[in-house]
Amino acid sequence: MEELIQRVAMSTGIDAGLAQKAIGMILGFLHKEGPADEVGIFMNAIPGSREAAADASTGGLMGMAAGLMGGGVMGLGAKLMGAGVSMDQISGISKELFAYGREKAGEDVMGGIVGQIPGLEKFV
């Protein structure tokens, strides 16, 4: 997980703490919204990913605000922006996370995830 956090931080210019938080939010979203088999393979390929998703799922006020804005990719975007991530950074984080996923879990797994979550293809 540390390698992924550093890659995201370096490619987007955000600090490692925010990178970790954003990655956890995205992983939690994928776990909730994505196809269970593919997401399971993906998360198993990245040690620490389940813990990162669980840590980010506490929600708080940001989670409540995202819930009011709706679910899906738009709700995730609202939650990430509420955490201090810009739209450009969201795109960079997503692209880096999915590139890492392709390296670790394979193109078929990541393609299956993207294909099952409406709107996700615009960010990866």
Whole-model pTM over 0.85: yes
Please tell me the distance from the alpha carbon of residue 30 to that of residue 43, in angstroms, as a whole number: 10
Q: At what angle do helices 72-82 and 16-33 cross, to 10 degrees?
A: 160
In this predicted model, what pLDDT tens digit does every residue of 8-26 receive, in sequence order? 999 999 999 999 999 999 9
Taking residue 75's Cβ as centre, other Cβ atoms within 10 Å add up to 18
Please tell me the distance from the alpha carbon of residue 62 to that of residue 112, in angstroms, as a whole number: 29
Please tell me the distance from the alpha carbon of residue 32 to that of residue 86, in angstroms, as a whole number: 23
In this predicted model, what pLDDT tens digit does every residue of 35-71 receive, in sequence order? 999 999 999 999 999 999 998 876 544 444 444 445 7
Q: Which two tokens stand for residue 55?
A: 């840590």
| Spans of all domains in the chain | 2-116
